[in-house]
Amino acid sequence: MQRRNFITLLGSSAASGVSWPFATSAQTTSKIYRLGTLGPRDPFDDKSPFGSILVRVLAQRGYTLGQNLALDARGAKGDIHHVPQLLREMKEDKTDALVVNGFPVALAAKTAGIPTVVAFGAGDPVATGLVQSLSRPGGNITGISDNATELSTKRLSLLKQLNPKLHRVAMLWNKEDLGMSMRYQASADVAQSVGVTVMPLGVREPDDFNEAFAAMNREPPDAILMVSDALTTLNRKRVFDYAAERKLPAIYEYDFLVRDGGLMSYGADLKESFERAGDLVARIFKGAQPGDLPFEQPTHYPFVINLKTAKATGIELPPNLVALADEVIE
């Protein structure tokens, strides 16, 4: 059994002379709300960037770690086959609500029947059959979605501003993840509509990246677009290095990849996504059914550039492109 990253916390009495709504509820029901988090790789615990956001938001809603909230944070360490067992254990532990990322984990959570909030990375939940509709999901899942077509259009336009002669874009994605395959297809459809040739480089396991790089050596692309999931993120350094060695501009979906060495990114603000996921969890704690809570879309999509990476790889970024960035890492 995978070692758990589990925090069990007991409720504490309210401070003398202070009346807090959540403290009154805790005294009346003696209930400790159990939040689970499950990612395809690392756990989102209260010390991690995203897990700490959930804990902060829930505290603002009256659910405080150390008083009336327990956190069970787990990760599949890159092996999706571990997820069903982890979910069974969390269900046996009577988890009240679960926050996940990625389509495979969300699909497994749907099967497990635990009230679930998808924070990010599950693709189009309607197209994949995860929910009935964005406005009325039905079942046990709600969360945060995005518009892959609009985002793909913007990412390709940013690549074109960097290189007006852009013709061929290599797209890396995990073929085993239906959510990411559909996101890739949306990107490919958009690319073809704007006159860009797509070089499809689907991968299923780490060794497949060698074949993807070999294919790019045979037919060099003008740029790379990497669709982010557990597999591609786990191998991000290899993509960074390949792009750097060949001075290939590459765009990624999330800003943490740029902070880690990627050239540029355009995608949902994950801080905002986890804040809204925390709010959805609080509503579930209060009795709302996930199937009645509409899927939400992010409102903030930061464009982030890593100038340090650009300088190190000899890629010249047009000043007008840099001026568009919400954040420039130097």
Distance, CA of 324 to CA of 157 (rounded, Å)? 12
Which of these, 169, 128, 177, 164, lies nearest to 152 by C-alpha position? Answer: 169
Which of these, 1, 34, 41, lies nearest to 114 by C-alpha position? Answer: 34
- Looking from the CA of 212 toward its CB, the CA atoms found within 13 Å total 27
Same domain, 255 and 198: yes
Same domain, 175 and 238: yes
Distance, CA of 238 to CA of 77 (rounded, Å)? 18
Residue at 319 is within a domain? yes
Same domain, 250 and 123: no
Same domain, 77 and 157: no
Q: Read off the pLDDT band of 5 (50, 70, 90).
A: very low
**Strand-pair partners of 142:** 117
Q: Average pLDDT for residues 235-248, to the nearest whole number?
A: 96
Same domain, 15 and 117: yes
Interstrand relation of 223-226 and 69-75 (parallel, antiparallel or unpaired): unpaired
Same domain, 284 and 311: no
Same domain, 139 and 278: yes
Q: Average pLDDT for residues 216-240, to the nearest whole number?
A: 95
Which of these, 217, 218, 167, lies nearest to 196 by C-alpha position? Answer: 167
What is the tens place of the pLDDT at every residue in 94-108? 999 999 999 999 999
Cα-trace Rg, the chain: 21
What is the tens place of the pLDDT at every residue in 120-136? 988 889 988 999 999 99
DSSP conformation class of 270: H
Query: Per the structure, how many domains does the chain have?
Result: 2
Assess contact for 65 and 7: CB atoms under 8 A. Answer: yes
In this predicted structure, the answer to whether residue 53 has a pLDDT above a threshold of 50 is yes
Report pLDDT for 4. Answer: 39
Report pLDDT for 8. Answer: 35
Helix, strand or coil, per DSSP, at residue 301? coil
At 75, which amino acid appears? G
Structure tokens, 110? 């749907």
> Whole domain around residue 69: which residue ranges?
5-146+270-292
Averaged pLDDT of the chain: 89
| Better-predicted residue by pLDDT, 27 or 67 | 67
In this predicted structure, the answer to whether residue 22 has a pLDDT above a threshold of 50 is no
Same domain, 175 and 99: no
Same domain, 193 and 322: yes
Global confidence as pTM: 0.86
Same domain, 111 and 198: no
What is the tens place of the pLDDT at every residue in 72-83? 999 998 888 999
Residue at 297 is within a domain? no
Same domain, 9 and 117: yes
Same domain, 128 and 161: no
Q: Read off the pLDDT band of 19 (50, 70, 90).
A: very low
Residue at 174 is within a domain? yes
Q: Read off the pLDDT band of 29 (50, 70, 90).
A: low
- Residues contacting residue 217 through CB under 8 Å, at least 6 positions apart: none
What is the tens place of the pLDDT at every residue in 257-274? 999 999 999 999 999 999
CATH of the domain at 13: 3.40.50.2300
Q: Read off the pLDDT band of 147 (50, 70, 90).
A: confident
